[in-house]
Amino acid sequence: MADSASSPKVRQALERARDGHTDKTTSDTLEGAITDLWNKIKAQEDYVLNRDEFALFNYFIYRYTGNAIAQRAVARFWDHYRGDPNAAGGKT
């Protein structure tokens, strides 16, 4: 079983990938996490992504272009998103 999207290992790998550092360890970590997350989304029709899961899913969103399950998962995230009430200009 891969690390969850909320684990420090996955969050750090995602940051490295966003910065263009896609070594094998980073890629393997992210691939394992997105596979587990996608399986969870497919298995639970009404699953709502948390912020870390959405960040990971959004990194790989190109893979799911036109996929109705993915579109509904993203819509559910935004329907439930409350933002950071401590951030300036954040949604409440």
For residue 16, being part of any structural domain is answered with yes
Q: Is residue 2 part of a domain?
A: no
Q: Give a yes or no: residue 44 inside a domain.
A: yes
Please provide the average confidence, as pLDDT, over all residues in the chain: 90
| Percent of the chain whose pLDDT exceeds 70 | 88
Say how many domains are in the chain: 1
**Of the candidates 35, 41, 81, the residue with the CA atom closest to the CA atom of residue 60:** 35
Domain presence at residue 92: no
Range of the domain at 34: 8-83
pTM, whole model, 2 decimals? 0.84
Distance of CA 9 to the CA centre of its chain: 14
For residue 55, tell me if it sits in a domain. yes
Burial (0-12, 13-18, 19+ Cβ within 10 Å), 52: middle
> Phi, psi (5° rounding) for residue 66?
80, 0
Residue appearing with tokens 């893979």? 63
